[in-house]
Amino acid sequence: MHQLFRGSFFNFEAIRILGMTRSEGADIAECFQAVGSIRENDPMSWQKAWSKQAEWAESLAQEAQCAGNKAAARGAFLRASNYTRASSYMMTGDQMGTSDSRVVPFLQKAAELFRSATKLLDSLVYPLQIPYDTKDGKLSLPAYLYCPRPSTRLQHKTPLLVNIAGADSTQEEQYFMFPAAGPELGYAVLTFEGPGQGLALHEHNIPMRPDWEEVIRVVLDYVSTFAGEHEELELDLTRIAIAGASLGGYFALRAAADERCKACIAIDPVYDLYEFGANHAAPTLFAWWNAGWIPNAVINSLISLGTRLSFQSRWEIFTSARFLGVSTPVDLLQTMKKFSLHRLDGAGEAKSYLDELACPVLVSGAAQSVYFDVDDHTSRVFKGIKHQEKEMWVGADAAQGGLQAKMGAVALCNQRVFSFLDRSFDVKRIKV
């Protein structure tokens, strides 16, 4: 496959943006113009390049609005939002565990541009605020509910897909996955930013938590109330599915333990976050540290040195520390251990959160993933699911969904996912 950058990190992130073209989140020439002005492993040139494209797209959106061109304005607002999000992506800040002070204004701007686009979408879009209790008081989790218009609804009530974000995505970016496709197929799609994600993290300083069965309980309680107050939408709360990609796939598997969940989609999920981190970096070193043979101070020093020698390492460590709410490498490693599908029961016996799944599950893998090896994650998840109705799909190359989170193959991912949901929810379609 052709590489846009020599290094895998910048190359993957550029494909991530370019892959949103099918849903109006990018334009080919704009992307190549940005890529052409970015220097390898240079976060400042990345920020400037995508900011320039964001400003250009926003100016086109305003021009189209003034001319009454709804379709052009919608697409340009979507691109401007996505480029604005991308422009802040490489910002790590100067101190581990804190946000770069520039991030919040970029994310707020991306959300503002996206809201302008939602007013021009063909689907019905409801911006929501989901009440959420934190140790410091109440917080509202921003959310969008995308519903099909009456002309595209299914014969019976409308099933709901809850699309959970991952470690470093925003719900505005999530639109380009399932929400862009679902309403046309008769599905409602809900996105939201939970603890440790998007503005809930950077603006309100709410770190990520591993027990997403608790997060989804709050979300589904709210959705139930909303559906009762909006009966005209005909939401079918007996057909709720949960989906997520990468770390969002882990969240989806935890969330699917809620009995209201009737199907689960885990796109290239992580099985154990600490094991991933150790294997991705230096497994022998961390094994010795776990055994107590290497002191914490040495681990802190070595990882800190790595963040100074490699921008990718800096981004990975600083970004992970930020969404997990920690400020040292050792604290990061200890917290990562909580994000696992392993668990111990009351008697100390080894169990799995996958034991609690009682619905059909689609698990995917990415053979060319930079991060999550198929055997260590996808296959372990699939084998650990006891429910008989389960399917596994592994993308062999990029065009077949072989990159992490199906970047560059979003259309294929939507085809696979909604076909799985049609089977799970007994949706019958007329052949075309």
Q: What is d(CA 300, CA 317) in angstroms, rounded to the nearest whole number?
A: 11
Task: Tell me whether strands 261-267 and 350-352 are parallel, antiparallel or unpaired.
Answer: unpaired
246 is catalytic: yes
In 187-226 the beta strands, taken as DSSP E runs, fall at 188-192
Torsion angle of C-alpha atoms 288, 290, 291, 293, degrees rounded to 10 = 50
Q: Distance between CA atoms of 336 and 256, rounded to whole angstroms?
A: 21
Find where tokens 């009440």 sit: 131
Pairing of strands 235-245, 261-267: parallel
Residues 6+ apart with CB under 8 A from 406: 245, 267, 268, 364, 366, 395, 412, 413
CA distances from 203 to 51, 98, 168 (A): 21, 11, 14
Among residues 81, 246, 369, 424, the one annotated as catalytic is: 246
**Distance between CA 335 and CA 87 in Å, rounded?**
28
Distance CA 325, CA 320 (A): 8
> 74 near 81, Cβ under 8 Å?
no
Q: Which residue has the tokens 């897909």?
A: 161
Would you name the residues annotated as active-site residues?
Answer: 246
